A and B are shown apart, each in its own frame.
Chain A
Amino acid sequence: MRARVGSLPLLAVAVLAASACSSAPRSRQAAVPALQAAPEPAPAVRVMLPATSLSEEQRIVHALNRLGYGPRPGDVERVRQMGLAKWMERQLEPSRIPDERAQAALQAFPTLTRSVPELVLAYPEPDPKLLAKVQSGEMTQQEMRQMAPPERRPFRIPAELQAAKLTRAVMSERQLEEVMTDFWFNHFNVDARKGAVKWMVADYERTAIRPHALGKFRDLLLATARHPAMLFYLDNWMSTRADLVMAAGPNKGRRMGLNENYAREIMELHTLGVDGGYTQQDVIEVARAFTGWTIERPREQGTFVFRPAAHDQGAKKVLGHVLPGYGGEQDGIHVIDILARHPATARFIATKLVRRFVSDEPPPALVERAARTFQDTDGDIRKVVATIVSSPEFFSADAYGAKIKKPIELVASAVRAVGGEIALPGDPGSQQVGGGLALALQVAKLGEPLYQQQPPTGYPDVAEAWVNTGALLNRLNFALALAQNRIPGVQVDIGRAVGAADREKPPQVLDALLASLLQGQARPETRAVLAAQLDNPEIIRATSDDRKAAAGRPAANTPTANTDVDKLAALVLGSPEFQRR
């Protein structure tokens, strides 16, 4: 199965999906066009576009870049036809957007939908004694691979999750859902390399993050708090009342006690912010409230469990609220409610969202309005995002192109811009985890190894973090590798981006590339620099050969044909403009 990224209109996609399973009951085939024809229900949130100095084209490009991973060939025109406000309303309600092709592609990753206990069983850690034998030379790598095949080891799980993330970012029609899932994963970061998290990380994204990405903040916070991935990553699973001595098990007789790690981060990073007005005593009280929230045998079962014996039954006082004694499991939920509804949380979350969607320096007035929406709607993320992306600040000339793409944004947007195709696992010639993993490796090379950020801050969302000497070089090399079709499992046809341009007239080819990859938004200086590259006669020769080859005439240089168009495209993808969104 080779999934094509690109230009099929939604209706055709739906029909394709329906006809692909010809044995499906007739009623189901009929239902798809009917769905398209029926009058659409009122949107969950109305988007009113503000007055702006941006052209219609710029508005659409801006929205595609900020609410998603950038335009594919034809996207700008499709949004224009639908109407930008309507497109945004649909993005804010992803469940209403048909997404069969991406969903079908995800079937290639079996670990994505399995429960933690199933994964722990099916992807066991290799015996440490085997590893020791390999290190001491008693056993070869080959023998080790036979006894514990890599595709059955736990790291298969985050590998598939990485591949799926790139596949979705490139292919999914639900672009805002992908952006928000990425945003919240970083906000509620866990690292797949820490202990048992590797078995839990896919379930964490699927059950705790994604369903609430545009839902209620309080539900999102609670889902992350109870998830074993978070409990393990921030050590809450080991936190017990101060005087607990283990009565049985491998740690029998060991004195346990409070671990403040999660309590501190839930306030500093997840809700109030570092200046949110909590004290060290609040950290201790919150830690006490969450005692007993733990994991049933992390490396064998890996599910949430509340253990009353580990819970501190005393009364607590959190940010001025009294939690009476003997609250049990409810203590933690009580804390979640206090934190989710705290005004500092509204402000902190609003600031981060405005930074993501508008500018590294969030305009204070917009933060204020977004925070008010957050409080007025009891933390309805969909409404907060709608406030931000329909604001004059969002559509201002200052915000246009002002954000530096972080690595996943650069890689996904480049593949989308050139209409690249991602091979899925099992496709002929693909790697085990398909082209998505090759793209994830590129993202890692640019400094964002996915699901592997050690500090709980997640990956930063400001330019300074991503622009440095080595990183920029890697971005340029990625542009070359992509345009020259050197990324395994990812197929790119720059010829399509050039389209009908007369290849014997290099300036026409250049303009075609600028139009399709940068939507004609290149600065005049950039165009001039690229035009200067066209003086090289090699370009004309190579493109002429390509034409001959296309016309079926024999051409001595066929294997190198198109090379220079590829390089020209790489220059466009490596240009300063393409590093921005």
Chain B
Amino acid sequence: MDCHCTRRSFMKGGALALLGLGAIPHFLVRAAYAQGGVSRPKILIAVFQRGAVDGLSMVVPHGDPSYYGARGSIAIARPGGSQGSLDLDGFFGLHPSMAALKPIWDDRRLALVHACGSPDTTRSHFDAQDYMESGTPGVKSTPDGWLARGLQAAPATSSSPFRAVAMGSQMPRTLRGELGAIAMGSAGDFDVKQGMAGMGGGVNARAGFESLYEQGVKDILHGTGRETFEAVKMLKAAKLERFQPENGAQYPRGKFGDNLKQIAQLIKADVGLQVAFADMGGWDTHAAQGNERGQLASRLTEFSDGLAALYRDLGDRMADVVVLTMSEFGRTVRENGNRGTDHGHATAMLVLGGPVKGGRAYGRWPGLAPEQLYEGRDLAVTTDFRHLFAEVAVRHLGIPASAPIFPGFSTNPAKYPGALV
């Protein structure tokens, strides 16, 4: 763990050290950034919709002549009526419960890539999530995640322990690897927990543990131990609770909203965050999916309200932030016998943020006529998800295009969807 020493001296010696530790007032930090010399890191927030979101209801191709014929009772009405989809470009429309995102589209800070997905044919959630997170469709033995590989190849604008943070108690496959990301259920839990109340005195467990790992032994445990206590102290000093939602942002109740709110706090606290990961479940709508209202509509409300709150809360900081949404596959074009949909192929992904060339749909639309469908039943994939992910990694995070983020896959700027500046 030789890198530890550089990290440590960087933390202690660099101008960022003070900023990062939050030892000086926030406005001074902003001023320091404004004076130049220190540039804020570019930040990617990856949002995984686990369970395969129905891309045809989330972003409705109301202009496709086959859409209404195929979808039956779960179709989302044409734009215009009080319940209809929210027209984006005359062909696509947002689900009516996603009204919170419409102004961002109109601001040209929200783009979408439809018919996006994996070339692998699997319809197993399990395998498809694994492939999307490892970035290697069809190869199961890849040890690490695409974003962990990517960030390791990124220019080290930050050596903070909070460079990559996943919200949740378990490290998602996307961030697994030698990068050393942090997974935390919530920022409040990220400390040594002393247990029962009423022990003001006694052995201070955190201090005790810290000194145990402070000894001058150079090995993986001691190195990590010191990083751990640095991270705990850094988070304490950052005083996240200072950063309450701004600009009237209201996060939806629930885990997804809480997680996005905490990501915004980490960003505002300048702890050196470059990549954050959050996920949301409940998309596997095999029965009673609903149309403008119902099960899927309520999930989409929470999803889009969360993203819109984040956008509003971060305000001008969105200039450095890109949010990328993804889901392992889409759902069947036809409604099934239970007024739901089964596992399909392509879906829609959203890209949101300052550096986004928004207000546009990217990717080629393959069509919904029976002969245009994949295996006669699903929306075909016209954009391999890796081209989109690579564009975000290269253009936004500054990862060299030559970095092996997607082993065995050839991508280059000519193949990117083009959604980023």
Instruction: Give chain A residues whose Cβ lies under 8 Å from the Cβ of B126.
Output: 191, 193-195, 454
Is B374 in the interface zone, CB < 8 Å from A?
A: no
Assess A576 versus B212: contact at CB under 8 Å? Given A463-B220, A464-B220, A473-B228.
yes
Please, which residues of chain A bring their CB within 8 A of the CB of B34?
none
A136 to B288, CA, bound (A): 9
- The verdict on A480 contacting B192 (CB below 8 Å), with A135-B282, A538-B203 known, is yes
Question: CA separation between A532 and B204, bound complex, in Å?
Answer: 12
**B228 and A529 contacting across the interface, CB-CB below 8 Å:** no
The listed residue (A128, A454, A464, A579) touching B173 by CB distance below 8 A is A454
Q: A317-325, A417-425, A442-450: which one contacts chain B?
A: A442-450
Determine which of A404, A481, A563 lies in contact with B202 in the assembled complex, contact meaning CB atoms within 8 Å. Answer: A563
A149 to B188, CA, bound (A): 33
Contacts of B232 in A (CB 8 A): 473
Stretch at the interface among B83-91, B106-114, B176-184, B316-324: B176-184
Q: Is the CB of A265 within 8 A of B140?
A: yes
Any B CB within 8 A of the CB of A457: yes
Number of A-B contacts (CB under 8 A): 162
- Cα–Cα distance between A579 and B221 once the two chains are bound (Å): 8
- Write out the residue numbers on chain B whose beta carbons fall within 8 Å of the beta carbon of A408: none
At the interface, yes or no: B340 with Cβ under 8 Å from chain A?
yes
Q: Within 8 Å of chain A (Cβ to Cβ): is B225?
A: yes
Proximity bits, B159-176, A CB within 8 Å = 1, else 0? 001000000011101000
The reply to whether the CB of B258 lies closer than 8 angstroms to some CB of chain A is: no
The reply to whether B195 and A470 contact each other, CB–CB distance below 8 Å, is no
Tell me which residues across on chain B come within 8 A of A7, comparing CB atoms: none
A467 touches B195 (CB 8 A): no
Interface segment, one of A329-337, A496-504, A564-572: A564-572
Closest A residue, CB atoms, query B285: A132
Indicate if A269 sits at the interface (CB-CB under 8 A). Answer: yes
Chain B nearest Cβ from A10, distance in angstroms = 35
Q: When the two chains form their complex, are residues B224 and A480 in contact, meaning their CB atoms are under 8 A apart?
A: no
Chain B contact surface mostly = loop
**B299 to A, closest residue via Cβ:** A135
How far, in whole Å, are A456 and B130 apart by their CA atoms in the complex?
11
Residue in A137, A269, A460, A473 whose Cβ sees the most chain B Cβ within 10 Å? A473
Q: List the A residue with the shortest CB-CB distance to B130.
A: A454
**Known contacts A268-B141, A469-B227, A477-B193, A404 near B221 by CB under 8 Å:** yes
Asked if A533 contacts B298 (CB within 8 A), the reply is no
Is A9 on the interface with B (CB-CB < 8 A)? no
Within 8 Å CB of B285, what residues of A? Answer: 132
Q: Which of B178, B190, B213, B215 makes the CB contact (< 8 A) with A464?
A: B178
Check A570–B288 contact: CB distance below 8 A. Answer: no
Which residues of B have CB within 8 Å of A491?
Answer: none
Q: Which residues of B contact A571 (CB under 8 A)?
A: 203, 205, 208-209, 212
With contacts A136-B294, A463-B220, A538-B202 taken as known, whether A473 is within 8 angstroms of B190 at the C-beta atoms is yes
A539 on the B face (CB < 8 A): yes
Known: A469-B231, A529-B211, A563-B199. A455 touches B221 (CB 8 A): no
Q: B271-289 toward A: CB 8 Å interface, digit per residue (1/0)?
A: 0000000000010011110
The interface residues of chain B lying within 8 Å CB-to-CB of A194 are 124, 126
The CA-CA distance from A525 to B214 in the complex, in Å, is 10
Chain A at the B interface: mostly helix, strand, loop or mixed?
A: helix
Nearest-neighbor residue (CB-CB) of A566 within chain B: B195
Residues B192 and A476 in contact, CB atoms below 8 Å apart: yes
The answer on a CB contact under 8 Å between A533 and B203 is yes
| Cβ contact of B196, chosen from A129, A131, A135, A484, cutoff 8 A | A484
Q: Mark A426-456, 1 if CB is under 8 A from B, else 0.
A: 0000000000000000001101010000111
Task: Count chain B CB atoms within 10 A of each CB in A449, A455, A532 and give the residue with the most.
Answer: A455
Q: Which of B246-293 contact A (CB under 8 A)?
A: 282, 285-288, 290
Given contacts A129-B288, A136-B290, A473-B228, contact A447 B199 (CB under 8 A): no
Contact A132 B140 (CB under 8 A): no
Q: Which residue of A lies closest to B171 (CB)?
A: A447
Chain A residues contacting B215 (CB-CB under 8 Å) are 525-526, 529
State whether the Cβ of A542 lies closer than 8 Å to any Cβ in chain B: yes
Tell me whether A575 and B195 are in contact (CB under 8 A): no
CB distance B141 to A576 under 8 Å?
A: no
* Cα A525 to Cα B340 with chains together (Å): 63
Q: Is B402 an interface residue (CB 8 A)?
A: no
| B198, A560: Cβ atoms closer than 8 Å | yes
Q: Quote the shortest CB–CB distance from A46 to chain B (angstroms).
A: 36
A526 touches B212 (CB 8 A): yes
Q: Let me know if B244 is at the binding interface, CB within 8 A.
A: no
Interface presence of A133 (CB below 8 A): yes
Residues of A within 8 A of B134 (CB): 455
Using Cβ atoms and an 8 Å threshold, which residues of chain B touch A274? 141
- Chain B 130-154, CB-CB to A under 8 Å as 1, else 0, gives 1000100000111100000000000
Residues of A within 8 A of B201 (CB): 536, 538
A480 touches B193 (CB 8 A): yes
With an 8 A cutoff between CB atoms, is A472 at the interface? Answer: yes
The CA of A128 and the CA of B299, in the complex, are separated in Å by 17
Q: Is A555 an interface residue (CB 8 A)?
A: no
Contact B208 A567 (CB under 8 A): yes
Known: A129-B338, A447-B170. A455 touches B141 (CB 8 A): yes
B72-101 Cβ-contact flags toward A at 8 Å (1 or 0): 000000000000000000000000000000
B130 contact set on A, CB distance < 8 A:
454-455
- With A445-B169, A529-B215 known to touch, is A468 a contact of B287 (CB < 8 Å)? no
Chain A, residue nearest B142 (CB): A455
- How far is A131 from B283 in the complex, measured between Cα atoms in Å? 12
CB neighbours (8 Å) of B282 from chain A are 135
CA distance A579 to B190 in the complex (A): 20
Query: Is B221 within 8 A of A576, CB to CB?
Result: yes
Give bound CA distance, A560 to B338, whole Å: 58
Contacts of A454 in B (CB 8 A): 126, 129-130, 173
User: Given that A470-B183, A579-B221 are contacting pairs, would A132 and B295 also be in contact in the complex, using a CB cutoff of 8 Å?
Assistant: yes
Residue pair B212, A128 in contact (C-beta under 8 Å): no
Q: Verify if A261 is at the interface (C-beta below 8 Å from B).
A: yes
CA distance A525 to B170 in the complex (A): 33
Q: How far is the CA of A312 from the CA of B195 in the complex (A)?
A: 62
Instruction: Bits for A119-159, please: 1 = Cβ < 8 Å to B, else 0.
Output: 00000000011011101110000000000000000000000
Residues of A near B35 (CB, < 8 A) are: none
* B242 CB to nearest chain A CB (Å): 22
Interface residues of A in 531-581 (CB under 8 A from B): 532-533, 536, 538-539, 542, 560, 563-564, 567-568, 570-571, 574-576, 579-580
| Cβ-based interface call for B236 (8 A) | no
Q: Which 7 pairs, one residue from A and one from B, show the smallest C-beta to C-beta distance?
A: A538-B201, A132-B288, A567-B203, A136-B295, A484-B195, A538-B202, A132-B287
A residues with CB within 8 A of B: 128-129, 131-133, 135-137, 191, 193-195, 261, 265, 268-269, 274, 404, 444-445, 447, 449, 454-457, 460, 463-464, 467-470, 472-473, 476-477, 480-481, 484, 486, 525-526, 529-530, 532-533, 536, 538-539, 542, 560, 563-564, 567-568, 570-571, 574-576, 579-580
CB pairs A–B below 8 angstroms (5 shown): A468-B180, A468-B181, A470-B190, A480-B193, A567-B208
Extra inter-chain contacts (8) besides given A135-B298, A447-B171, CB under 8 Å: A445-B169, A455-B141, A455-B173, A468-B181, A468-B182, A477-B192, A481-B193, A529-B212
